[in-house]
């Protein structure tokens, strides 16, 4: 079976996010002072071939831990669907 994974990787809350800080400042310059604390991460979409959803989950988990996220500085979440 093919599963579609949607993965979000974000900097951990305690890590400085210079891109997010720059965008937050730009929002103020645009008069959008209501927008605060912007955090910028990445979104990864991929397909995985697996016999079961549990197997697909394990493979995506491995990909996130091994390659897609730097676990020292980033956290990740993902969803799977067929």
* Domains held by the chain: number: 1
* Pairwise CA distance, residues 80 & 40, whole Å: 22
Burial class (CB in 10 A: 0-12, 13-18, 19+), 79: exposed
Residue 81 in contact with residue 56, Cβ under 8 Å?
no
Q: What is the structure's pLDDT at 68?
A: 98
CATH code at 60?
A: 3.30.1280.10
What is the domain range of residue 69?
A: 2-81
How do residues 28-76 score in pLDDT, each as one tens digit?
999 999 999 999 999 999 999 999 999 999 999 999 999 999 999 999 9
pTM of the model: 0.89
Question: What confidence category does residue 27 fall into, taking pLDDT thresholds of 50, 70 and 90?
Answer: very high
> How confident is the model at residue 58, as a pLDDT?
98
């Amino acid at each position: 079976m093919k599963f579609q994974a949607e993965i979000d990787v974000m900097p951990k809350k305690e890590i400085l996010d210079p891109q997010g800080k720059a965008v937050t400042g730009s929002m103020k310059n645009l008069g959008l002072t209501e927008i605060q604390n912007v955090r910028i991460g990445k979104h990864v979409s991929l397909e995985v071939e697996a016999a079961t959803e549990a197997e697909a989950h394990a493979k995506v988990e491995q990909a996130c831990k091994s390659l897609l996220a730097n676990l020292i500085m980033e956290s990740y979440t993902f969803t799977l669907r067929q």
